[in-house]
Structure 1
Amino acid sequence: MTAWLLICAAHSVERARGEWDDTGIALLRCGALFSAVRISAGLVHAAAASEDREQIAGFLGRALHGGPVFVHRDGSRYYALVPPGATDLHAWHGRRHANDVEFLGLGSYLGVPRPRSDDEDDEARGAHWVVPMDEPGALCQADAVAQLVERGRFRLAGEDTGRGD
């Protein structure tokens, strides 16, 4: 898995390995082997109907069929890794929640935690995997990510009107 991700090293394989060793996060290029969808924590929490870390991890694992997801240390953003050919789906945009979702494809760079970094040391240093990558190329289905986003937006809209669901 590590070797597969290192193909996307922003600068060099050696530098990326050093970044993982020093900070737990390596800068990788999006668009070659994977792209990513950055999703706000508020949207993920709304979709999961929970702010509990274990419940969110279970929800994301089910909703994204085991596809890899990591979260930033401060918990503000989740990143779902999707195939590089995933299109910038309409569902990933919206006027009311324009800052809640961003597609990161060709030309984007992303700080990615070392594979299997779900321990407390890596979590304290940076991002950590909520749903670890099982094998090279095993990514989230773009449509499943879009459905998660729509579910979160639906629930947030219900909160805005006081109706919920």
Structure 2
Amino acid sequence: MAHAQQAPAQALREWADTGVALLPLGTRFVAVRLPEALIHAAADTAQPQELAARLTRLLNGPVIFDGRTMGGTYYALMRPRIGSPWKHQAIAPRLGVGTYLGVPKLDRRKPPGTYWTVPPRFKGDLCAPGAVASLIVNAIRVSQEAEQ
């Protein structure tokens, strides 16, 4: 992930100094910003261990949690797809070129601060766009059913 920056050594320094590196999105990976309520609806739990296990199964790729922003936000990391429209931009925006994301050091797996809910398992491990889209659609359906 350090290679997302033009100077990977900078990311390594940031991880060593603060535990979080600010990485540019759009070249090596993009991130889908998922509100906490959406994730809890999709996973049908707010319990951290259960949530991590369900997100692992549902997304099969890395997910970051940042509890310091907007009441809690998850970021599913995906491969960039040039020319591929993202149908869920209004509720779960796909962030890419021109955006930076705080990416935690691989061993940050619990609060406080930004941490991995689902860490990458290998170099290049990313969520499939279809899996992220399915999670969003399911969460919307569950939320609508709960309102009825």
Q: TM-score, normalized by length of structure 2?
A: 0.89
Pick the aligned partner of 2:27 from 24, 32, 39: 32
Partner of 1:149: 136
Partner of 1:49: 44
Deviation (angstroms), 1:160: 2.1
Partner of 1:103: 94
Partner of 2:73: 77
- Identity score, percent: 36
Partner of 2:86: 89
Deviation (angstroms), 1:39: 0.1
Residue 133 of structure 2: SS of its match in structure 1?
Answer: helix
Do 2:63 and 2:75's aligned partners in 1 also have CA atoms closer than 8 Å? yes
Pick the aligned partner of 2:116 from 121, 129, 149: 129
- Distance in 2, matches of 1:113 and 1:152, equals 26
1:114 to 2:105 alignment? yes
1:7 to 2:3 alignment? yes
Map Cα deviations across residues 117-143 of structure 1 (whole Å, 9 max, x no partner).
Answer: 22x5xx32x211111101111110000
Structure 1 residue runs without a partner (length 5+): none
- Distance in 2, matches of 1:151 and 1:141, equals 16
Do 2:2 and 2:9's aligned partners in 1 also have CA atoms closer than 8 Å? no
Equivalent residue pairs, number: 145
Partner of 1:60: 55
Q: Specify whether residues 72 and 88 from structure 1 end up closer, same or farther in structure 2 by C-alpha distance, changes over 3 A only.
A: farther
Map Cα deviations across residues 78-99 of structure 1 (whole Å, 9 max, x no partner).
Answer: 0110001263421x23xxxx3x
Q: TM-score, normalized by length of structure 1?
A: 0.80
CA RMSD between the two structures? 1.7
Rg (Cα) greater in structure: 1
Residue 7 of structure 1: SS of its match in structure 2?
Answer: helix
Corresponding letter in the other structure for 1:42: A
